[in-house]
Structure 1
Protein backbone atom coordinates (compact mmCIF):
# COMPACT_ATOMS: atom_id res chain seq x y z
CA UNK A 1 0.00 0.00 0.00
CA UNK A 2 2.86 2.36 0.82
CA UNK A 3 4.40 1.61 -2.56
CA UNK A 4 1.11 2.48 -4.32
CA UNK A 5 0.75 5.65 -2.26
CA UNK A 6 4.35 6.68 -3.09
CA UNK A 7 3.80 5.96 -6.81
CA UNK A 8 0.60 7.99 -6.82
CA UNK A 9 2.34 10.91 -5.12
CA UNK A 10 5.22 10.73 -7.61
CA UNK A 11 2.78 10.81 -10.54
CA UNK A 12 0.86 13.74 -9.03
CA UNK A 13 4.12 15.62 -8.42
CA UNK A 14 5.24 15.00 -12.01
CA UNK A 15 1.87 16.21 -13.35
CA UNK A 16 2.03 19.31 -11.15
CA UNK A 17 5.55 20.09 -12.38
CA UNK A 18 4.47 19.64 -16.02
CA UNK A 19 1.48 21.95 -15.58
CA UNK A 20 3.60 24.53 -13.77
CA UNK A 21 6.13 24.71 -16.59
CA UNK A 22 3.60 24.74 -19.42
CA UNK A 23 0.82 26.86 -17.94
CA UNK A 24 2.63 30.16 -18.26
CA UNK A 25 3.02 31.52 -21.75
CA UNK A 26 5.96 33.69 -22.74
CA UNK A 27 3.90 35.60 -25.32
CA UNK A 28 3.65 38.63 -23.04
CA UNK A 29 7.43 38.80 -22.83
CA UNK A 30 7.63 39.31 -26.60
CA UNK A 31 5.28 42.31 -26.60
CA UNK A 32 7.18 45.56 -26.18
CA UNK A 33 6.17 47.63 -23.17
CA UNK A 34 4.71 51.12 -23.52
CA UNK A 35 7.90 52.48 -21.93
CA UNK A 36 10.12 50.70 -24.50
CA UNK A 37 7.97 51.97 -27.36
CA UNK A 38 8.01 55.55 -26.05
CA UNK A 39 11.79 55.40 -25.59
CA UNK A 40 12.75 53.86 -28.91
CA UNK A 41 10.18 55.38 -31.29
CA UNK A 42 11.68 58.89 -31.13
CA UNK A 43 13.70 59.44 -34.32
CA UNK A 44 13.44 58.86 -38.07
CA UNK A 45 12.39 55.44 -39.39
CA UNK A 46 12.78 54.18 -42.96
CA UNK A 47 10.74 51.17 -44.13
CA UNK A 48 13.00 48.47 -45.58
CA UNK A 49 10.82 45.37 -46.07
CA UNK A 50 7.12 44.55 -46.44
CA UNK A 51 5.44 41.16 -46.11
CA UNK A 52 1.76 40.47 -46.63
CA UNK A 53 -0.06 43.02 -48.75
CA UNK A 54 0.90 46.32 -50.33
CA UNK A 55 -0.55 48.53 -53.03
CA UNK A 56 0.37 47.59 -56.61
CA UNK A 57 0.85 50.05 -59.51
CA UNK A 58 -2.95 50.12 -60.04
CA UNK A 59 -3.65 50.93 -56.36
CA UNK A 60 -4.99 47.41 -55.75
CA UNK A 61 -3.93 45.21 -52.81
CA UNK A 62 -1.30 42.68 -53.91
CA UNK A 63 0.48 39.91 -51.99
CA UNK A 64 4.15 40.82 -51.48
CA UNK A 65 7.34 39.82 -49.69
CA UNK A 66 9.91 42.36 -50.81
CA UNK A 67 12.56 44.84 -49.86
CA UNK A 68 11.47 48.44 -50.35
CA UNK A 69 13.47 50.69 -52.68
CA UNK A 70 14.46 53.99 -51.06
CA UNK A 71 12.88 55.90 -53.98
CA UNK A 72 9.48 54.37 -53.11
CA UNK A 73 9.37 55.03 -49.38
CA UNK A 74 7.83 57.50 -47.03
CA UNK A 75 9.91 57.70 -43.86
CA UNK A 76 8.54 58.81 -40.52
CA UNK A 77 10.15 61.04 -37.93
CA UNK A 78 8.49 60.62 -34.54
CA UNK A 79 9.06 63.47 -32.10
CA UNK A 80 8.61 63.96 -28.37
CA UNK A 81 5.17 65.31 -27.56
CA UNK A 82 3.21 63.09 -29.96
CA UNK A 83 3.84 64.63 -33.40
CA UNK A 84 5.49 63.15 -36.47
CA UNK A 85 6.61 64.21 -39.93
CA UNK A 86 6.64 62.27 -43.20
CA UNK A 87 9.60 62.45 -45.59
CA UNK A 88 10.27 61.25 -49.14
CA UNK A 89 13.69 60.60 -50.70
CA UNK A 90 14.61 63.09 -53.45
CA UNK A 91 17.67 61.32 -54.80
CA UNK A 92 20.21 62.81 -52.43
CA UNK A 93 18.31 63.91 -49.30
CA UNK A 94 15.08 63.53 -47.37
CA UNK A 95 12.40 66.11 -48.18
CA UNK A 96 9.54 66.81 -45.79
CA UNK A 97 6.19 65.76 -47.25
CA UNK A 98 3.82 66.32 -44.31
CA UNK A 99 4.49 67.80 -40.91
CA UNK A 100 2.73 68.17 -37.61
CA UNK A 101 0.65 65.01 -37.78
CA UNK A 102 -0.09 63.38 -34.43
CA UNK A 103 0.46 59.94 -32.93
CA UNK A 104 -0.36 58.17 -29.69
CA UNK A 105 0.94 55.03 -28.04
CA UNK A 106 -1.12 52.69 -25.90
CA UNK A 107 0.64 49.47 -24.97
CA UNK A 108 2.06 48.18 -28.22
CA UNK A 109 -0.49 50.07 -30.38
CA UNK A 110 0.66 53.06 -32.42
CA UNK A 111 -2.17 55.23 -33.73
CA UNK A 112 -1.49 58.00 -36.24
CA UNK A 113 -3.82 60.96 -36.73
CA UNK A 114 -4.28 63.79 -39.18
CA UNK A 115 -2.98 67.20 -38.10
CA UNK A 116 -6.24 67.83 -36.23
CA UNK A 117 -5.32 65.01 -33.83
CA UNK A 118 -8.82 63.57 -34.16
CA UNK A 119 -9.16 61.74 -37.49
CA UNK A 120 -7.29 58.42 -37.41
CA UNK A 121 -4.93 57.69 -40.29
CA UNK A 122 -3.75 54.19 -39.28
CA UNK A 123 -3.47 51.87 -36.29
CA UNK A 124 -0.35 49.70 -36.07
CA UNK A 125 0.63 46.88 -33.73
CA UNK A 126 4.26 47.20 -32.76
CA UNK A 127 5.58 43.65 -32.87
CA UNK A 128 9.10 44.62 -31.88
CA UNK A 129 11.18 47.76 -31.39
CA UNK A 130 14.71 48.55 -30.26
CA UNK A 131 17.28 51.26 -30.94
CA UNK A 132 17.81 50.20 -34.59
CA UNK A 133 14.79 48.20 -35.82
CA UNK A 134 11.00 48.37 -35.59
CA UNK A 135 8.43 45.89 -36.94
CA UNK A 136 4.85 47.10 -37.40
CA UNK A 137 1.79 45.08 -38.33
CA UNK A 138 -1.37 46.67 -39.73
CA UNK A 139 -4.25 46.02 -42.07
CA UNK A 140 -3.94 47.63 -45.48
CA UNK A 141 -6.65 50.27 -45.78
CA UNK A 142 -8.04 49.04 -42.43
CA UNK A 143 -9.17 45.76 -44.04
CA UNK A 144 -8.33 42.64 -42.00
CA UNK A 145 -8.29 40.63 -45.25
CA UNK A 146 -5.05 42.45 -46.19
CA UNK A 147 -2.60 42.18 -43.27
CA UNK A 148 0.82 43.68 -43.74
CA UNK A 149 4.06 43.61 -41.76
CA UNK A 150 6.63 46.34 -42.32
CA UNK A 151 10.21 46.33 -41.05
CA UNK A 152 11.87 49.71 -40.45
CA UNK A 153 15.42 50.76 -39.71
CA UNK A 154 16.24 53.82 -37.63
CA UNK A 155 18.17 56.31 -39.72
CA UNK A 156 18.53 59.17 -37.22
Structure 2
Protein backbone atom coordinates (compact mmCIF):
# COMPACT_ATOMS: atom_id res chain seq x y z
CA UNK A 1 0.00 0.00 0.00
CA UNK A 2 1.46 3.32 -1.06
CA UNK A 3 0.77 6.29 1.18
CA UNK A 4 0.23 9.77 -0.14
CA UNK A 5 1.66 12.31 2.25
CA UNK A 6 2.79 11.68 5.76
CA UNK A 7 0.92 9.04 7.76
CA UNK A 8 0.38 8.99 11.48
CA UNK A 9 1.75 6.57 14.05
CA UNK A 10 -1.43 4.49 13.98
CA UNK A 11 -1.06 3.53 10.30
CA UNK A 12 1.08 0.50 11.17
CA UNK A 13 -1.65 -0.73 13.54
CA UNK A 14 -4.36 -0.14 10.94
CA UNK A 15 -2.23 -2.05 8.44
CA UNK A 16 -1.93 -4.92 10.90
CA UNK A 17 -5.66 -5.00 11.67
CA UNK A 18 -6.79 -4.65 8.06
CA UNK A 19 -4.08 -6.34 6.01
CA UNK A 20 -2.37 -8.54 8.60
CA UNK A 21 0.95 -6.69 8.38
CA UNK A 22 3.64 -7.84 10.81
CA UNK A 23 4.31 -5.86 13.97
CA UNK A 24 7.40 -5.74 16.13
CA UNK A 25 7.08 -7.12 19.68
CA UNK A 26 6.99 -3.58 21.11
CA UNK A 27 4.23 -2.65 18.68
CA UNK A 28 2.30 -5.81 19.59
CA UNK A 29 2.49 -4.82 23.26
CA UNK A 30 1.23 -1.34 22.45
CA UNK A 31 -1.63 -2.76 20.35
CA UNK A 32 -2.63 -4.86 23.37
CA UNK A 33 -2.80 -1.68 25.46
CA UNK A 34 -4.98 -0.04 22.81
CA UNK A 35 -7.24 -3.09 22.78
CA UNK A 36 -7.45 -3.13 26.59
CA UNK A 37 -8.46 0.54 26.65
CA UNK A 38 -11.09 -0.09 23.98
CA UNK A 39 -12.39 -3.17 25.80
CA UNK A 40 -12.83 -1.24 29.04
CA UNK A 41 -14.71 1.52 27.25
CA UNK A 42 -16.89 -1.08 25.49
CA UNK A 43 -17.79 -2.46 28.92
CA UNK A 44 -19.24 0.93 29.80
CA UNK A 45 -16.34 2.55 31.64
CA UNK A 46 -15.77 6.24 31.03
CA UNK A 47 -12.40 7.60 29.94
CA UNK A 48 -11.58 8.53 33.54
CA UNK A 49 -12.54 5.10 34.85
CA UNK A 50 -10.53 3.46 32.07
CA UNK A 51 -7.56 5.60 33.03
CA UNK A 52 -7.86 4.57 36.69
CA UNK A 53 -8.20 0.86 35.89
CA UNK A 54 -5.29 0.88 33.45
CA UNK A 55 -3.09 2.77 35.91
CA UNK A 56 -3.64 -0.06 38.40
CA UNK A 57 -2.78 -2.67 35.75
CA UNK A 58 0.28 -0.98 34.28
CA UNK A 59 3.09 1.19 35.55
CA UNK A 60 2.60 3.94 32.98
CA UNK A 61 2.26 7.62 33.75
CA UNK A 62 -1.06 9.39 33.55
CA UNK A 63 -0.06 11.29 30.41
CA UNK A 64 0.95 8.04 28.68
CA UNK A 65 -2.38 6.48 29.60
CA UNK A 66 -4.26 9.53 28.28
CA UNK A 67 -2.35 9.14 25.00
CA UNK A 68 -3.19 5.41 24.86
CA UNK A 69 -6.89 6.10 25.43
CA UNK A 70 -6.87 8.91 22.84
CA UNK A 71 -5.10 6.71 20.27
CA UNK A 72 -7.42 3.81 21.05
CA UNK A 73 -10.38 6.03 20.22
CA UNK A 74 -8.69 7.10 16.98
CA UNK A 75 -7.91 3.48 16.09
CA UNK A 76 -11.16 1.74 17.06
CA UNK A 77 -13.63 4.63 17.21
CA UNK A 78 -15.42 6.24 20.12
CA UNK A 79 -17.71 3.89 21.98
CA UNK A 80 -19.74 6.82 23.30
CA UNK A 81 -20.70 7.88 19.80
CA UNK A 82 -21.86 4.54 18.45
CA UNK A 83 -25.31 4.21 17.05
CA UNK A 84 -28.24 2.47 18.70
CA UNK A 85 -27.53 -0.86 17.02
CA UNK A 86 -23.98 -0.87 18.37
CA UNK A 87 -25.12 -0.16 21.91
CA UNK A 88 -27.76 -2.87 21.57
CA UNK A 89 -25.08 -5.33 20.49
CA UNK A 90 -22.83 -4.39 23.42
CA UNK A 91 -25.73 -4.88 25.86
CA UNK A 92 -26.58 -8.21 24.22
CA UNK A 93 -23.01 -9.43 24.63
CA UNK A 94 -22.96 -8.32 28.28
CA UNK A 95 -26.22 -10.18 29.00
CA UNK A 96 -24.87 -13.30 27.28
CA UNK A 97 -21.67 -13.05 29.33
CA UNK A 98 -23.71 -12.71 32.54
CA UNK A 99 -25.80 -15.72 31.53
CA UNK A 100 -22.72 -17.83 30.86
CA UNK A 101 -21.18 -16.84 34.20
CA UNK A 102 -24.43 -17.69 36.01
CA UNK A 103 -24.54 -21.08 34.28
CA UNK A 104 -20.97 -21.85 35.39
CA UNK A 105 -21.91 -20.97 38.97
CA UNK A 106 -25.08 -23.09 38.81
CA UNK A 107 -27.44 -20.13 39.26
CA UNK A 108 -29.98 -21.15 36.64
CA UNK A 109 -32.61 -18.55 37.53
CA UNK A 110 -30.11 -15.75 36.90
CA UNK A 111 -28.95 -17.50 33.74
CA UNK A 112 -32.48 -17.68 32.33
CA UNK A 113 -33.17 -14.05 33.30
CA UNK A 114 -29.97 -12.87 31.58
CA UNK A 115 -30.74 -14.88 28.43
CA UNK A 116 -34.31 -13.54 28.39
CA UNK A 117 -33.01 -9.98 28.65
CA UNK A 118 -30.55 -10.65 25.83
CA UNK A 119 -33.25 -12.11 23.61
CA UNK A 120 -35.63 -9.22 24.34
CA UNK A 121 -33.12 -6.80 22.85
CA UNK A 122 -33.57 -8.40 19.45
CA UNK A 123 -37.28 -9.25 19.91
CA UNK A 124 -36.52 -12.96 20.11
CA UNK A 125 -38.43 -13.49 23.36
CA UNK A 126 -42.05 -12.81 24.08
CA UNK A 127 -43.67 -14.58 27.04
CA UNK A 128 -47.17 -13.91 25.68
CA UNK A 129 -46.76 -15.73 22.39
CA UNK A 130 -46.02 -19.42 22.11
CA UNK A 131 -45.24 -21.31 18.98
CA UNK A 132 -47.33 -24.32 20.03
CA UNK A 133 -50.43 -24.13 22.17
CA UNK A 134 -50.77 -27.43 24.08
CA UNK A 135 -54.53 -26.92 24.37
CA UNK A 136 -54.80 -27.40 20.62
CA UNK A 137 -53.91 -31.06 21.11
CA UNK A 138 -56.65 -31.57 23.72
CA UNK A 139 -59.54 -30.37 21.56
CA UNK A 140 -61.03 -32.90 19.20
CA UNK A 141 -60.91 -31.95 15.56
CA UNK A 142 -64.04 -31.04 13.68
CA UNK A 143 -65.53 -34.13 12.08
CA UNK A 144 -68.35 -33.80 9.58
CA UNK A 145 -70.61 -36.82 9.23
CA UNK A 146 -72.74 -37.52 6.19
CA UNK A 147 -75.21 -40.28 5.50
CA UNK A 148 -75.91 -39.18 1.96
CA UNK A 149 -74.93 -42.05 -0.41
CA UNK A 150 -73.66 -39.78 -3.21
CA UNK A 151 -71.21 -38.03 -0.88
CA UNK A 152 -69.99 -41.34 0.56
CA UNK A 153 -69.46 -42.84 -2.92
CA UNK A 154 -67.50 -39.75 -4.03
CA UNK A 155 -65.34 -39.93 -0.89
CA UNK A 156 -64.68 -43.62 -1.50
CA UNK A 157 -63.68 -42.89 -5.11
CA UNK A 158 -61.25 -40.17 -3.95
CA UNK A 159 -59.72 -42.49 -1.36
CA UNK A 160 -59.12 -45.15 -4.01
CA UNK A 161 -57.59 -42.63 -6.43
CA UNK A 162 -55.25 -41.29 -3.72
CA UNK A 163 -53.62 -44.66 -3.15
CA UNK A 164 -50.52 -45.33 -5.20
CA UNK A 165 -50.62 -49.07 -5.87
CA UNK A 166 -46.85 -49.36 -6.20
CA UNK A 167 -46.49 -48.08 -2.64
CA UNK A 168 -49.30 -50.30 -1.36
CA UNK A 169 -47.58 -53.54 -2.41
The TM-score, its normalising length taken from structure 2, stands at 0.19
Which structure exhibits the higher relative contact order, with contacts defined as CA atoms closer than 8 Å and separated by 6 or more residues? 1
Identify, as 1 or 2, the structure richer in helix. 2
Q: In proportion to residue count, which structure has more strand?
A: 1
TM-score, reference length from structure 1: 0.20
Q: Which has the larger radius of gyration?
A: 2
